[in-house]
Amino acid sequence: MTFDRSVLTRAARLGAATLHESAGRIGALPARIKPVASEMRLAGPAFTVQVPQGDNLWLHRALYAARPGDVLVVSTSGGIEWGYWGDILNAAAMQCGLGGLVIDGGVRDTANLAEQAFPVFSNGACIRGTIKGFETPAWMALPIRIGDVVVEPGDLIVGDRDGVVAIPTDSVAAVLDKAQEREADEAAKIARIAAGERTIDIYGFGAGRAA
């Protein structure tokens, strides 16, 4: 799946939280997954990868199977306490023109990663090295589960300092439209608050109403 550049630009601007709300509060990846530098943002189609705990062989393979602009979305089979990604893989991903990394696990070399243009979202820094298990089952470009979210290949992945959301491919257009409406509605409410109105009046949360 590919998305027009205008779609990706729009999605990144609207942001992960707004898209999550506009999608019906679905697709939010675990809150522990955050960018290595707060200003990093990403938007692109998911290229899914399932690796065994403590093994990053298939991340090397995924780099050359994914297409330019794809976001690698990686499940580590629950093995979050390893550093699966660092300077070498980051340099290779940039050379391949990939759109970013989202991994339910650790990364290392974070001081350098934070200075690069390639957006990396992870559970945090972890110095534990990985192995290359040539006989260990793994897969890519198939559905994976991260937390309670099943990510399908081609889903729209959007990440910023608030977190990461996965939007099903067939819902993207409708979700973006709803997100645009939500953004406009919030801007109108903020203007009303700046003019002196109270949130409890705007939302009808006054006495006698449940919050």
Enter the pTM of the model: 0.95
Biggest CA-to-CA distance, the chain: 66
Whose CA is closest to 146, among 63, 50, 71?
Answer: 50
Contacts of 168 (CB under 8 A, 6+ apart): 27, 152, 155, 156
For residue 118, the 8-state DSSP code is S
For strand 144-146 and strand 139-140, is the pairing parallel, antiparallel, or unpaired?
A: unpaired
For residue 210, name the pLDDT band (cuts at 50, 70, 90). low
What is residue 2's predicted lDDT score, i.e. its pLDDT? 87
Whose CA is closest to 142, among 49, 45, 38?
Answer: 49
Whose CA is closest to 97, among 73, 120, 71, 79?
Answer: 71
Half-sphere exposure of 187 (CA within 13 A, CB side): 7
Residue 211 clears pLDDT 90, i.e. is over it: no
Residue 165 clears pLDDT 80, i.e. is over it: yes
**Pair 172, 7: CB distance under 8 Å:** yes
Joined together, the tokens standing for residue 89 give 């893989």
List, as one string, the DSSP characters of 71-105. Answer: EEEEE-TT--SSB---HHHHHHHHHHT--EEEESS
What is residue 52's predicted lDDT score, i.e. its pLDDT? 97
For residue 208, name the pLDDT band (cuts at 50, 70, 90). low
